[in-house]
Amino acid sequence: MKIILAIFSVFLSTALYCQPDTNLLLRGKVSDDVVLLRWAPTNPAIWQAGNDRGYVILRSKLDIDHEAYEVLDTVRPATLQKFQDKKDHINPAMLNLGANALFSSYLEGDAISAEQNLESRFTSALYAADMDALTAELLGLRYIDQDAQPGQKYQYVVIATGSEVPISSATVMIDMMAASIPAPILITDVVEDEGKVNLVWQTHPRFPEYTAYYIERSENGSDFKR
């Protein structure tokens, strides 16, 4: 029986163009005529501020007149109840990891310091968001713009706000006519072993943006299953 494998890279969304600052990273892509935005703070302090006050999403149409920015939304993490309502989600492990990162608290006398506790929660939240889109949305790190018009170019800005002023922002440009997805990764070597097959492939040129790889298998060359 002939089996064909395809490997697809998984990362923080396909960026057509991005301009991150040192505290906030933003990626965007077009999928089924909607714009998907994913962002990530680069340190625990910004993550904590975003959890407390949310992220402001701005959009401007890049035409001849370059329209002024409009506020689309302020995105905040979901409540614990909303996490619990999704318990039957296809990836409950990432949902649980994200919820624990968001809602667990530090108690005096713990084996680790408060700073280590925050760093651990921050790292867990970003990993869970990278591995599951719904978890990213519930963590307040993902936004879907369903009002973007075909054929247009947009500039998006995501702002993490502090108690009085913005503390960090990131920008991405989305061209609705230039949407694309990464091609499957080329498998360079297949090593057969007893009861298993070892696959070898080269890392993608944009490897720093990727968290993991999906592996799909087909027995007929057309119907692939993850």
Per-residue pLDDT of the chain (226 residues; tens, 9 = 90+): 444 444 444 444 333 334 445 789 999 988 888 999 999 999 998 999 999 999 999 999 887 666 788 999 999 999 999 999 988 888 899 999 999 999 987 555 566 788 888 999 999 999 999 999 999 999 999 999 999 988 888 999 999 886 655 678 899 999 887 655 566 777 777 888 787 888 887 776 555 556 677 788 888 877 888 7
Q: Are 86 and 116 in contact (CB under 8 A)?
A: no
Answer yes or no: CATH 3.40.50.410 is held by domain 16-175: no
Q: Are 74 and 56 in contact (CB under 8 A)?
A: yes
Q: Are 225 and 43 in contact (CB under 8 A)?
A: no
Which regions of the chain carry the CATH code 2.60.40.10? 16-175
Neighbours of 50 (CB within 10 A): 26
The token duo for 61 is 């149409």
Nearest-angstrom CA–CA distance, 144 and 137: 9
pLDDT for 108 equals 53
Task: Say what the pTM is.
Answer: 0.72
pLDDT for 63 equals 75
Q: Are 10 and 213 in contact (CB under 8 A)?
A: yes
Q: Are 35 and 158 in contact (CB under 8 A)?
A: no
pLDDT for 176 equals 81
pLDDT for 202 equals 74
